[in-house]
Every structure is written in C-alpha cells, then in structure tokens.
Amino acid sequence: MAVRIGNIDLGEFPLLLAPMEDVSDPPFRFVCKQNGVDLMYTEFISSEGLIRDAAKSRQKLDIFEYERPIGIQIFGSDIDTMREATQIASQAGPDLIDINYGCPVKNVACRGAGASLLQDIDKMTAMTKAVVEATHLPVTVKTRLGWDDNTKNIYEVAERLQDVGIQALSIHGRTRSQMYKGQADWRLIREVRRNPRIRIPIFGNGDVDSVEKAAAWRMEYEVDGIMIGRASIGYPWIFREIKHFFQTGEYLPGPTIAERVSVCRTHFEKSIQWKGEKTGVFEMRRHYANYFKGIPHFKEYRTRLVSLTDVAEIHAVLDEIGEQFAMEEVA
C-alpha cells in the first residue's frame, strides 16, 4: 500500500533524504534525486532569519520543480515567529512544511529551538498547532526519542502532535544528549509505530548506512519508510542500491570510478550555478573526500582539489582522477 502525506503519494516504502545543515542544498539534492530518493527537505531554516529577511535564510527557500516532492524545514523557539515563518515558507511553493524538533547542536537547542522543545511538550504541541493552522500544506515533524535517557517521551510526543494535525513523523533513534554518538535505538520507533492510536506514517532515521541494514530494519522495526542522512554524503547511490534490492532482492554493484567522477562533477557544476563561482568552489571542498572514499592514494588529489580556486583546474584534476583510476580498474 502506498504511503501518503496529505495527497502526496510516496510509493510503497519511501526513502527520504534527511535535512542536513550545510549539506542538503540544491546541488546535493540534485544528485540524490537522480539516484531515486522519494522525498527531500531543504536544510533547516531559522524562523527568525526568514522574518528578518536574512539573505542566507531566504536563499535556502530555493526549490526546483525536478525536486518534488520537497519539504521546507523550519525551526525556532517562538510560536508567533514560527507561525509567520510558516506563511513565508508556504509562499515559496513547497509540497509540505517540516518542523525541526531534532537538531541537537548547541546554538539551536540552547536557544530553545530544535531538540530542546522535547523538554516542553506543551509548548511543542502549541507551536505545532500554530504551524498547522498557518498553512494550507501538510505539516510533518522530525524529532528524537527524547532529551536524554531519563526523558524518552517520543510515544507521548507522537500522539499529541498527531492530535494537532501533523501528517507524518520522522524519528531519529537517539536522544538529544547522545548527539550523534553511540548507536541509534530503533526499538522505541517500533513502539510508536505499533501504537494503535497512530494513523500517520512513521519514518525511522539514524545509522542506516547499507542495503543490509535498510532491509533488516524495514522488517524488524515496521517503519513506513527510512530517512537517510550522513550515509548519503558523497554516496547518493545508497538510495539507488536500497531500492534495487527491495525490488529485486539483488545487490547492485557500487559505482565505478567514472560514475564517481561524473556525479562529483555534476554536484560541483550545480554548486557553482547556484552559489556563484567563489562560494561554489569553496563549499564543494567538504565533499571530495566522501565521493572518493576508499580509493587508494586519493589524498594527493584531495589536497589539490581543496587548494584550487580555478574551475577549469578543478575539472582537470577530476579528469585526471578518472583517467588514472580507470587504467587501474582495467589493469
């Protein structure tokens, strides 16, 4: 049976790209979409930044037709500000609005936004209700199991947020105090999914970094779909590989060197188109090591790639990588 958010049909078992600050921008989303992701989100956007018309926040509202369905994710600590930001975000034409109640980083959580709302479920519920009422679009939420091991309140959170109108919930299997350490615990996600009161799709998130895990956890934890974050950085093929396995029971071979170079180059070109040459070149530097992870003697190439500023020279190094390693693959 197809999973639906409002009237958005996501297919039988959707794969979602997690919103990641400084990662899930339009250039990165482009290469993930080419590899079969079913639903994507923008980087999270500060509600205060939107209202102040801050350039960085506004730029994050950029979405493109080929990305659909896509959600704009917002965060904030003030209910009225979140209501106003929802109206602004809705005008940008996304398919849904997502609220971030999961971000654990200090400058978000310690300002009363993101995961810190897990310490005040009444406020979280009121804020969610305000967002739902401020838009004609479906509203979804991304959150964590709780603030720490003593306050794992996701079961109550899921019920209360569903009651005020959210239409899907993504749960990261860690508490805020865990940050990204230790292992994600999906058992509570399964309990939420099994709750007879819950009617909305429940998506699991955290530590899915292989076809095997996706297949095993789909069965074991009974989620409606899986959200993937860090494992897709520099490896957008993960979506393609998981989908292929679900459809055929067979493993796709990993990307060739030529494919790695080609997708890295596409990402680079889109980065320049969207951000301009200077920023595009600079911000692409964080991705090279991931695209060529595991390739022997890549360090020397990476050193060159992260020091160059000329677009043609970067393309020349990518050509060189393709030629060098293609010869080794043949040999």
Whether residue 11 is annotated as binding a ligand: the answer is no
According to the annotation, is 230 in a ligand binding site? yes
166: closest CA among 205, 135, 123, 122? 135
Active site residue 103: yes
Q: Specify whether the CB–CB gap between 85 and 53 falls below 8 A.
A: no
Decide: 50 and 89 in contact? Cβ < 8 Å.
Answer: yes
Strand 70-75 and strand 40-41: the pairing is parallel
Query: Per the annotation, does 229 bind a ligand?
Result: yes
Instruction: Say which of 32, 103, 110, 264 is annotated catalytic.
Output: 103
Binding-site residue ranges for FMN: 73, 142, 172, 229-230
Q: Which residues are catalytic?
A: 103
Binding-site residue ranges: 73, 142, 172, 229-230
